Amino acid sequence: MNERLKRAKGYARRATGIRCLPGTILLFAGLMLTGGAEAACRINLIGGIFFDPQEVLIDAGYITVLPSTPIGGLIKQISGGIHGKAFVAQCDLWGGKEISVFENPDRRVAVPGLANVYTTDVPGIGVRVMRSVSGGSPFFYPHSQSHSVKPGWLGIDGGSFIIDLVRTAEQIGTGRVAPTGTFTRFYYDGNSTSNPALTSKFSSNGNVVVKPTCEVDAGSRNIPVAFDNVPANRFNGPRTRGDNRDFSIKLLCQGGARETRVKIRIDATPDDSGYQGVLKLDNVQNRASGVGIEMVRRSGTSEVPFSLGDPLVVGFTQPTASTLELPLRARYIQTREGAVGPGVANGKATFTLQYD
């Protein structure tokens, strides 16, 4: 009887031991989960000593924003090449992440209503940063992507680094889009931002200065001024004139935080007479002789002579979008003594916008 009890007690102890095994297995599983939480990819050891991050230089030049560019519209696109490189980073048994960030994240705030667009240091101008990957899908900055290679190597795919400057408001400010220097960093979660694999940098002449600007109205880009046929005997001496032909150069100007003076400079080949504001006729066969084309500025009911090549102040930009106009007048004028010789009497002038 006692022997049986001893055997029964021994069995109970063994059974108790068996019931403890699931607890041991759960504890081991818990250790596995703890190890997985430390997953990371890192620039490899050799690379950690000798690795030199690839840098994409951004040279945006000077930017002008056309008033016709809508909110959300592209102002300018700047791109640079990315060279592919294998075995840049090694991931451990649990994988890891690649991460891309702006250098100054507190200054890059998402713009409501515009996908992947972030603020710049210039009001009304946003930035959208994208990497186009050869043979893969593009992605936008900032981003974080997990990798399931366990363990394994990661490389940098070749492709393009693309920056879109986007209009985000009616009123456009002035200044630098971003400071000279590093703009973005691409790194792995086992490293820090101070040990990146890829960076982008604004060059010294790529610190973009954006000025309020105007564009020529579609109807003013090429202005034909028809004089029709004019009898040669209409002119009876130097400075006698034909009929007036009035026209205007119209400008569409964007709003700006700073008032800017807008000028138009009119250039043409001056007539040999030296008369102010008189164009020389085009050198063609059967050209008329003894006349030129005079241009003056209209001001109400008055005329204001001007010299070719001198800037004419048209007006100032406003805080909101506005229209400016330069009213002009053209006509034939006799430029020398004697009779005017009949023939073809065409001429042309070009105009250029200037800002102060």
Q: What is the pLDDT of residue 299?
A: 95
Q: What is the pLDDT of residue 185?
A: 95
216-265 pLDDT, tens digit per residue, is 998 998 998 988 889 988 999 999 999 999 999 999 988 776 788 999 99
- Smallest CA-to-CA distance from 255 within 317, 167, 314, 177 is with 317
Average pLDDT over residues 53-70: 86
Residue 225, SS3 per DSSP? coil
Q: Which of 78-87, 159-168, 290-299 has the lowest mean pLDDT?
A: 78-87
- Provide the H-helix boundaries in the chain: 2-36, 45-50
**Tokens of residue 94, six digits:** 């649990």
99-128 pLDDT, tens digit per residue, is 999 998 888 899 999 999 999 988 899 999
Average pLDDT over residues 290-305: 96
Average pLDDT over residues 148-159: 83
For the ranges 29-33, 72-76, 179-183, the maximum mean pLDDT occurs at 72-76
Q: Which fold has domain 41-211?
A: Immunoglobulin-like (2.60.40)
Q: What is the pLDDT of residue 6?
A: 43
321-338 pLDDT, tens digit per residue, is 889 999 999 999 999 999
CATH class of 214-355: mainly beta
Q: What are the backbone dihedrals phi and psi of residue 304, each rounded to the nearest 5 degrees, phi first?
A: -125, 110
For strand 214-216 and strand 210-211, is the pairing parallel, antiparallel, or unpaired? unpaired
Q: What is the pLDDT of residue 264?
A: 96
For the ranges 20-24, 32-36, 90-94, the maximum mean pLDDT occurs at 90-94
273-288 pLDDT, tens digit per residue, is 999 999 999 999 999 9
- CATH 2.60.40.1090 residue ranges of the chain are 214-355
- CATH 2.60.40.3310 residue ranges of the chain are 41-211
